[in-house]
Structure 1
Amino acid sequence: MTTSTSPAANKGRSAAGLDVSAAFATTLETPQHVQIAEELGFRRAWLYDTPQQSPDVWMCLALAAERTHSIGLGPGVLVPALRHPMVSASGAAALERLAPGRVAVAFGTGYTSRRAMGQRPASWTYMTRYVTTFRALLRGETVEWEGSRLRMLHPDESLPSAPDAIPVYIGAIGPKGMEIAASLGDGLFVAGAPVPEQAKEFSHVSYLALGSVLDDGEALDSDRLRTAAGPGLAQAFHVSYELGGEEAVKALPGGPEWLAVLQTTPEDQRHLAVHNGHLLHLNDADTAAWNAGAHTLVEHVTLTGTADEVLAKVQQLAASGVTEIMYQPAGDIRRELEAFADAVGLRR
């Protein structure tokens, strides 16, 4: 893996001994939020590739590059099934030219983005072919895709300054994905699951977390916390439904109420209802669950707690092999970024 020598390489280290980055559910306000993250000392900003609800991730990353000077930037995660590998390679090359030494790229099978459009995630076979082609294109090689030979024909000023200037992370949690991540990527990207035991075998492990630092004496059912940590909590319902169906959701506090709202949507459109507001806000079913008691889970399924409790959770992640925590704020973005930065010792 290429080690950046940019100013960002020395920023963003927490009191827990790992890098602290921000992640954003991409909106047109995200470039401004990335600027705030840079001011607070965050190591990198990862932007979601969720075209079913977000503006183009490359466009927003380019706008963020123009607003910032040192913070790392990257899509986390790119979904191969959404675009040709040449499009991804061209986007990564352009971003590297706009923000030299600051770019990383993460790929995933597209579990949420694909499910939200009624499709299955990409196969690991396809992922392997795609990422291998992407990396070869950035090295200037001629490759084969869909039966044709292709190569980046960009002028030199539009290409990365070095063949392997852009590190690649692979989103994975299961055995097959972990094997591919070890052979294909420069690091492991973990989202929506506990840290795999195999994570300790990787030198770079990025872990996505959502939640909120509680105000003094704040109740777990507060309106502020619902806005800030509710979107992270809702993923427990979304993932349970996608993986285990209705029975898995019924076992959760607020699960029956969540299902009752979801079932008012025609079955062939329920994937739209499930993923509406993904990591941005609570949809109608999520709100019903929260009000019916799901908020009691928030400290268990998200990175929520007092400042000391949040720091302790981050320290536990570091002990499990995580080298970079990616914190995604919701609601009042500045407040959430500031509170998290203070809790983990980023502003010390």
Structure 2
Amino acid sequence: MQVSCAFPTALDTPDKIAVAERIGYQRAWIYDTPQQSPDVWMSLALAAERTERIGIGPGVLVPSLRHPMVNAAATATLCDLAPGRVAVSFGTGFTGRRAMGYGAITWAFMDAYIRAYQGLLRGEVVEWEGARMQMLHPDGHAPKRPVEVPILISALGPKGNAVTKKLGDGLFSTLVVPDFAGDYSWSAYLAWGTVLDDEESDDSEHARAAGGPGWALSLHGAMEFGGPDAVRELPGGDQWLQVVQRRPEGERHLAVHSQHCVGLNDADNAAWDAGGNVTLRDVTVSGDRAQVRDKLEQLRAAGITEIVYQPCGPDIDRELERFYDVASDLTDAGKVDA
């Protein structure tokens, strides 16, 4: 199993990707979340200039945020800056859409979008929104077509699986491991959590800062996919809802997604303080070294070929090092001195 990392794109993300390269991570994915992040492509270009080996790419692109020509041109540019190191993944938009009040895009739209994007990178004339178009970049303006880049697709259900099988080079999943994860030779899984010290409690300040943002996704996901009743079933869920429901109904998604994947917002802190932290080890890859290693073994047994770890907290470098020290035992690549 390859050991990769992910970052909710921030101003220092290119530097953090360079740190991840020194530690030994195989790939770094960064989020396409413009409502809370700087531009994903600008950040990747800076990362390309500051690294030499590590794979890089957006994880995941949300098609509705950009015209397929824009993503195709950006992909070609990044492939020129980091030849042989680029991969791209697409998703229907959890944070990238729901944090702005929209629902997920349809799989029919995803299918059409990726087909147009792939056709553009091959140099073909494609049709999009009723118009015929082609990448017309002269020499020196983009690499010659075709531009070869592997594509992963984030899918959890049968519709997404069907699109991934038709158009993708692999699967990108998170939150739950789909039954079909083992059907792909490249099956990446995005996870959060922290390596706790022996005897460290689940409600330590380190656990809150480094494991809490991933833990909070159980509440955010329950609200988005199951509504208030699903949240109430979780420890601390009532306290979480009380904070979220202070906002007008049409703005509650703003309260849900504030600090998403970065820190704990007011609702998350209320749930944590009410005892919600008891599920930390259940909903994230958190625990002592042996427990984290067991969780990774379970993911590998389920068909995951690439663990994608997103560190959190005030000391990202330390979280990257601690996780890699445990996870590198599961890869033939071994450890690289930082």
TM range (shorter): over 0.9
**Alpha-carbon distance in structure 2 between the residues aligned to 1:143 and 1:198:** 31
Q: Please report how far the alpha carbon of residue 160 of structure 1 lies from its aligned counterpart in structure 2 after TM superposition.
A: 4.1
**Alpha-carbon distance in structure 2 between the residues aligned to 1:126 and 1:248:** 28
Residue identity in the other structure for 2:23:
L
TM-score normalised per structure 1: 0.93
Contact (CA 8 Å) 2:153, 2:168: kept in 1 or not? yes
Structure 1 stretches of 4+ with a deviation exceeding 3 A read 156-162
Gaps of 5+ in 2: 329-333
**Alpha-carbon distance in structure 2 between the residues aligned to 1:268 and 1:66:** 42
**Alpha-carbon distance in structure 2 between the residues aligned to 1:240 and 1:160:** 43
Contact (CA 8 Å) 2:191, 2:308: kept in 1 or not? yes
**Alpha-carbon distance in structure 2 between the residues aligned to 1:123 and 1:277:** 26
Identity in percent: 55
The equivalent position to 1:288 in structure 2, one of 262, 270, 277, is 270
Contact (CA 8 Å) 2:76, 2:147: kept in 1 or not? no
Does residue 347 in structure 1 map to residue 335 in structure 2?
Answer: yes
Contact (CA 8 Å) 2:61, 2:89: kept in 1 or not? yes
Residue identity in the other structure for 2:220:
H
**Alpha-carbon distance in structure 2 between the residues aligned to 1:235 and 1:221:** 17
**Alpha-carbon distance in structure 2 between the residues aligned to 1:156 and 1:138:** 15
**Alpha-carbon distance in structure 2 between the residues aligned to 1:170 and 1:236:** 22
Q: Which residue of 1 aligns with 2:260?
A: 278
Q: What RMSD over aligned residues (CA atoms) do the two structures have, in Å?
A: 1.1
**Alpha-carbon distance in structure 2 between the residues aligned to 1:77 and 1:344:** 23
Does residue 247 in structure 1 map to residue 233 in structure 2?
Answer: no
Q: Please report how far the alpha carbon of residue 191 of structure 1 lies from its aligned counterpart in structure 2 after TM superposition.
A: 1.4
The equivalent position to 1:306 in structure 2, one of 263, 285, 288, is 288
The equivalent position to 2:124 in structure 1, one of 121, 126, 141, is 141
TM-score normalised per structure 2: 0.95
Q: Please report how far the alpha carbon of residue 265 of structure 1 lies from its aligned counterpart in structure 2 after TM superposition.
A: 0.9
Q: Which residue of 1 aligns with 2:188?
A: 206
Q: Please report how far the alpha carbon of residue 347 of structure 1 lies from its aligned counterpart in structure 2 after TM superposition.
A: 2.1
**Alpha-carbon distance in structure 2 between the residues aligned to 1:44 and 1:160:** 22
Residue identity in the other structure for 2:284:
T
Does residue 20 in structure 1 map to residue 8 in structure 2?
Answer: no
Give the direction of change, closer, same or farther, for the CA distance of 1:50–1:35 in structure 2 (3 Å limit).
Answer: same
Q: Which residue of 2 aligns with 1:35?
A: 18
**Alpha-carbon distance in structure 2 between the residues aligned to 1:70 and 1:235:** 31
**Alpha-carbon distance in structure 1 between the residues aligned to 2:2 and 2:127:** 37
Q: Please report how far the alpha carbon of residue 164 of structure 1 lies from its aligned counterpart in structure 2 after TM superposition.
A: 5.2
Residue identity in the other structure for 1:320:
A
Contact (CA 8 Å) 1:138, 1:160: kept in 2 or not? no
**Alpha-carbon distance in structure 2 between the residues aligned to 1:336 and 1:167:** 28
The equivalent position to 1:117 in structure 2, one of 100, 117, 123, is 100
Gaps of 5+ in 1: 1-17
Q: Please report how far the alpha carbon of residue 216 of structure 1 lies from its aligned counterpart in structure 2 after TM superposition.
A: 2.6
